[in-house]
Amino acid sequence: MTNDRGTEPERLGEYVVERRLGSGGMGVVYLARTVGGRALAVKVVRPEYARDPGFRARFRREVAAARRVSGAFTAPVVDADPEGDPPWLATLYVPGGSLTDRVDRDGPLAPGEATRVGAQLAEALRDIHRCGLVHRDLKPGNVLLAEDGVRLIDFGISRALSDSHRLTEDGAVLGSPPFMAPEQLTGGAEVTVAADVFALGAVVAYAVTGRSPFESGGDPLAVAYRVVHEEPDLDDVPDGLRELVTRCLAKDPEQRPDVAELLRMAVEADSRERAGPGGPAYWPEPVREQRSVPLPDTAPGVPARRRRRWTAAGVAAAVLAVAGVGVWLAAPWGDGGGGGQVATGEGDGRAAPFSPWEKDLRDFGVLDAATGGFSCDDAGSGLLCTSGGELSVLLHPDGEERFRHRGPRDAVLGPAGIPGEDGTVYTRSDKGLVALDADGEELWEIDAPELMGTLRTLDDTLVLQNGDSTLRFYRTDDREQAGTWEAPGRYVTATAAHGDRLLVETRDDASGGDPQLMLLDAAARPLWSLPVTPPPEAAGMLDLIGMDGEAAYFQEFDPEVPAITAVLALGLGATGEWTRTELPQPSDPRGVLGDGAVFMSSVGGQVTAVDALEGEVMWDEDTGVRTASAPTVTNGSLYLSDAEGRLYAVSARDGSVTWRGEPHPGSPGLGSDGWAPAPVVTDEGVAYVVTLGNTLYATSIDD
């Protein structure tokens, strides 16, 4: 439908178009609103390109890629119609112009602000790369400057890492030459995450100088020649930023820093800038990954018919309005290009009387736990602490380090390490996946060059994802492959495990939509005759929380709020029946399963307990815990910490606070206004707490 504005639409799908925001060579972006008044940015493909099957295929990939990325500094997708006439993609509207607009209007950014914009872009790239994608078109026009931080947009030419050798479409190189890596322009090397690092360096140089470091009078061919053959002009880049930019712009992809090191360099550059005058800064609230904590099978104070054990699963498909600057400090040990471990301790499996202890996480090379993805799991005879696939540290219960393993250079793309039986640790290696014993010695290794997703264990079976759509099942006793499950034309977005069953969520590879669920046994055989789809009453996107012996549990994200507004249970019987429970108030995406219920919590300390199978809210209470961590549920209590590192016990029966520990303030880092990962509570009555003060401490909860 059109109006007096000529060919501009009045509506796109169910959204009312207000005005044009901007346009490019291949599409137009409009400001639109939902029925409830929420502002959206809707990208519409131009008619001449919509008629081109090749371009329409690329737009389908953009939609699929944008749906897959879930990060603090990317704009979440609300809706899309890649098959429409015209095709369009709607994301949450980000007030504020692009980096190009800002520089054109006000001139170059102050060094401090440019540094922080670069750090936020690095965290956005980390989220993108963890989804197995290379953005390939990071440029100032695709960087929006919102009040709470940057947003990286436009995944129109992004590619899966496994397909990164395909550089062109219809003979044309895709990208923007001043911000393209040499390997993108020449086709002489595989395009990997290093290409995005090159673009980030060029964008930071542009932000602080107002021009491309390869500027050549506006001639794109001359610019491309300079990118490939000449050194960048960095004379106007401040000293504090020059090292960072120079390393990013290395011609050889192998010489560029990885994202983790880039974040460390950004922190160091920012520290230098803070010593002198600086510009305005963005310091938003961080978002981080949720990790699983093993729970016992029995607990008092909850319905006796269900005693649950859970494994949290999946990465949230949508992001609330929180953001952060990742400041993972690259570990100071080992070689940056490969894996290795440092064994410490006597490895004697000794059991000593418990004594409280506390560690500074900088000893592990972690500058800011809240934004670095650092968390811990109960490893039976000790504690396993990880930061993605980049770092695994196994500790004795007394805090003594048994071994430290560093993953390969690209481990940011792979799963975090997980504990196995008898102190075994499964984690990333150069080859794919390695099993280490309790002293850090290699037991065996699996060749999995496209390792991604989340590692799961089913009784005596290890499940890993190799590539977008393939799951492999290995018996841990003899390391023989027990089976393989594939989803042709789809990609895996989440998994959850319980006992000898695995639930898998997939989406359509072309559109990024059409979520489907399948239940598998430990030999990768389907237990349902047909996939199960979300119920029609679901108001938004479903994020998998976990599963037990009776059901799988989901939190429903409503992009209109945006927040979690309901909990859904999917029965694991042959029919796959759904039960939906509306929450009394919206929640942060921090649902956990344990002790016979699903518990939804907010950073402000509000906790809602849901009997999801019965469709009932058991209680909804303000615990009074401010800047609350993600919770752990065990033995009739929720355990969570606050901004000062105090540990709290909250009754799973009624939400009352039954115990409060002492503060452990530590030394708060740049992400200290976020929330900490969930504490780990063992059957021996010991709690291990990662704090916003960047410490890890152990305390007894028996007193």
SS (H, E, C) 201-249: HHHHHHHHHCCCCCCCCCCHHHHHHHHHHCCCCCCCCCHHHHHHHHHHC
Dump pLDDT digits (tens) for 87-103: 888 887 877 778 988 89
CA 86 to chain centre: 31
The vertex-512 CA angle with 129 and 52, nearest 5°, equals 100
Residue with tokens 């930061």: 387
Q: Is the peptide bond before 668 cis (omega within 30 degrees of 0)?
A: no
If you search the block for the tokens 């102050």, which residue do you land on?
110
Calpha distance 326→682 (Å, rounded) = 29
The amino acid that residue 115 corresponds to is: T
- Rounded CA gap, 457 and 230, in Å? 51
Helix (H, G, I), strand (E, B) or coil at 537: coil
DSSP state of 297: S
State residue 306's pLDDT score.
34
Tokens matching residue 130: 């963890």
Identify the sign of the CA torsion 274, 278, 280, 282: negative
pLDDT in tens, 416-458: 899 998 789 999 988 899 999 999 999 999 999 888 889 999 9
Q: How far is CA 355 from CA 280, 358, 400, 493, in A?
A: 46, 10, 12, 42
Residue 407: C-alpha distances to residues 185, 539, 563 (Å)? 30, 40, 34
In CATH, which superfamily holds the domain spanning 98-284?
Answer: Transferase(Phosphotransferase) domain 1 (1.10.510.10)
* Cβ proximity of 190 and 183 under 8 Å: yes
CATH of 344-700, one of 3.40.50.300, 2.130.10.10, 3.30.950.10, 2.60.40.10: 2.130.10.10
Distance from CA of residue 202 to its chain's centroid?
25
Tell me which residues of the chain have a pLDDT lower than 70.
Answer: 1-8, 23-26, 54, 58, 61-62, 64-72, 155-175, 187-189, 216-218, 267-352, 371-372, 409-414, 510-512, 559-562, 668-674, 703
Q: Range(s) for CATH 3.30.200.20 in the chain?
A: 1-93
State the pTM of this model: 0.57
CATH class entry, domain 1-93: alpha beta
The pLDDT assigned to 674 comes to 60
Non-local (6+) Cβ contacts of 209 within 8 A are 108, 236, 237
Task: Read off the pLDDT of residues 5-21 as tens digits, 9 standing for 90 and up.
Answer: 445 678 888 888 888 87
Q: Are strands 357-360 and 695-700 parallel, antiparallel or unpaired?
A: antiparallel
Domain boundaries for CATH 2.130.10.10 within the chain? 344-700
Every domain of the chain with CATH number 1.10.510.10 lies at 98-284
Distance CA 550, CA 570 (A): 9
Q: What are the residues whose beta carbons fall under 8 Å from the beta carbon of 628, sequence distance 6 or more?
A: 601, 602, 603, 604, 605, 640, 641, 642, 675
Residue with tokens 């998994």: 495
Going by C-alpha positions, the residue among 415, 474, 419, 468 that lies closest to residue 445 is 474
Give the catalytic positions in this structure: 137
Residue 107's pLDDT is 93
Which letter does DSSP use for residue 413 in this model? G
| Residues contacting residue 115 through CB under 8 Å, at least 6 positions apart | 204, 240, 241, 266, 269, 270, 273
φ, ψ for residue 584, nearest 5 deg: -65, -25
In the numeric block, which tokens belong to residue 14? 């169910």
